[in-house]
Structure 1
Amino acid sequence: MAATYINGHQESVLRSHKWRTAENSAAYLLPHIKPGMRILDVGCGPGTISIDFATRVPQGHVIGLENSPEVLVEARATAAKGGVANIEFVVLQHISDPVGALREMKRATKPGGLVATREGDFNSMTWFPENDALVEWRELHMRVGRALGGEPNAGRRLVSWAIQAGFARKDITASSTSYCYSDPEDRAWWSVMWQDRILGSSFPERVLDGGHATQADLERMAQAWRKWGEQEDGWFAFLHGEVLCRV
């Protein structure tokens, strides 16, 4: 069964994806990367993390997989601009079977290698000051994500999925990290990005076509993000689950 990415790949979405680096989004994996490794980055998006990996494996090679050919055009351009040659990007159909995906990664990894994954946990999103419209937005996002075949709270399920995929519990190391947005610049960037996603990505189309909310609801949620971003005492955190699975 194919799953549809809830937000699409419009500029408002790629704005946050391109912000991600190996340091801020894969720190749990970096100590395990060796110069001669071959790395498969599944769901690489615009490739910023994949390219970071490639710079750390100068005698190795990185393949970035993504289901959007348009995004990979930008990924290839970014790699070329940075002079990173030991990387290639190919298209993979997005799937809604995470256990099957982990099982296939396990099969494709040579003995002694690692399968690593990091996923957000949407219900862990928390903020101050409290705002009922943001609670409504979080619940809407999760509802639409599940209707499209995804699991918004994937972060908390990674250990369970890895076990179901055939990894022994003793071979799984679990951890978590979080993003925090509170400084004025961070608040402005995060809040404007979500305003734009709510009104200008694929999200509103998925919401309206599925009858999950109205345009007026979306406008109200975007306004709530705008208000949060303007508040000096604004604070937001987002937890991510991580697993390192030894093959």
Structure 2
Amino acid sequence: MAETATYTHGHHASVLRTHGQRTALNSAKFLLPYLKPHMKVLDVGCGPGTITVDLATYVPEGHVTGLEMVGDILPGARQLAESRGIHNIEFVTGDANTLTYADDSFDVVFCHQVLQHVGDPIAMLQEMKRVCKKGGLVAARDADYSVFMWYPELPGLRRWQDLYDRVARKNGGEPNAGRYLHVWARKAGFQEVACTVSSWCFAKPEEVKWWSEAWQERSVKSAFCKTAIDNGIATMEDLEGLSQVWKQWGEDTDAFISIPSAEIVCRKQ
């Protein structure tokens, strides 16, 4: 089955810069205790590959495959791996709805902030389960946009939150995926599902500046902007206003934002 949803963020430079700050420690820490040196890992929807390359260091006698639908961003991922001297890794183009791998191919199948953007997350988890070895693990981490927490409480950020929800749903996704992960996993046939929650927290001045500047640009230049305008959800004037709200937020000396994500680790029986 081909993907029916559209990726809300797209791959504008402002998006890739944000995703490029993700690491195994800040985005996949829940998975790391399960990794063994010999394991074969599939990272679904790997994006710019920063988490993928990190994961390869945890399985030095094994191998990691980064799978991404948009092949245009993979040269940068390959260059990152080369620059760090990581060789037990490969990056390939593919659709996780129809994986080309045989049954029972991987010890671990992982995805990060992916299931919120797909049309049928249960079917994707079933496909991830299919290529996972018996006794192996399927793991996922996804945010829940409705429970973001920030200071100062600017009304414009609530408007941004509402607009993001509408755009994501128009694209066929579920922006509050975090709360559903464990349910989707059980519907996909997993009986053993471990659940945790962790959060990114941006409070240091350099972190606030980075997040603020990223969303100032993403609000008016990324695929999020195009979808909002093309579907009559917002005008450019609206989006420019939200960009200024992110600027205002970032200029507050007490600015803070917490972005919670739910996590699941599922063992294939």
Q: Which bin holds the TM-score, normalised by the shorter protein? A: over 0.9
- Match of 2:101? none
Pair 1:124-2:126 in alignment? no
Partner amino acid, structure 2, of 1:139? D
Query: Distance in 2 between the 1:6 and 1:121 partners?
Result: 14
Partner amino acid, structure 1, of 2:155? D
- Match of 2:224? 203
Pair 1:167-2:190 in alignment? yes
Query: Distance in 2 between the 1:105 and 1:224 partners?
Result: 39
Question: Which residue of 174, 187, 190 corresponds with 1:151?
Answer: 174
Query: Distance in 1 between the 2:95 and 2:166 partners?
Result: 22
Pair 1:140-2:163 in alignment? yes
Deviation of 1:216 (Å): 0.9
Query: Distance in 1 between the 2:25 and 2:204 partners?
Result: 19
The one-character-per-residue Cα deviations of 1:202-231 (angstroms, maximum 9, x if unpaired) are 221111001001111101101000000000
The one-character-per-residue Cα deviations of 1:62-117 (angstroms, maximum 9, x if unpaired) are 11111111111111111111111111111123742100011111111111110000
Deviation of 1:6 (Å): 0.9
Deviation of 1:194 (Å): 0.6
What's the TM-score, normalizing by structure 2? 0.89
- Structure 2 unaligned segments of length 5 or more: list them: 97-117
Query: Distance in 2 between the 1:90 and 1:202 partners?
Result: 23
Identity of aligned residues (%): 49
Question: Which residue of 193, 214, 237 corresponds with 1:193?
Answer: 214
Partner amino acid, structure 2, of 1:145? A
SS in 1 for 2:186: helix
Deviation of 1:55 (Å): 1.2
Kindly indicate whether structure 1 or structure 2 has the higher relative contact order, using CA contacts under 8 Å at least 6 residues apart. Answer: 1
Aligned residues: 245
- Match of 1:61? 63
- Match of 1:220? 241
* Correspondence list, 1:1-247, <5 A: 1-93=3-95, 95-168=118-191, 171-247=192-268
Deviation of 1:200 (Å): 1.6
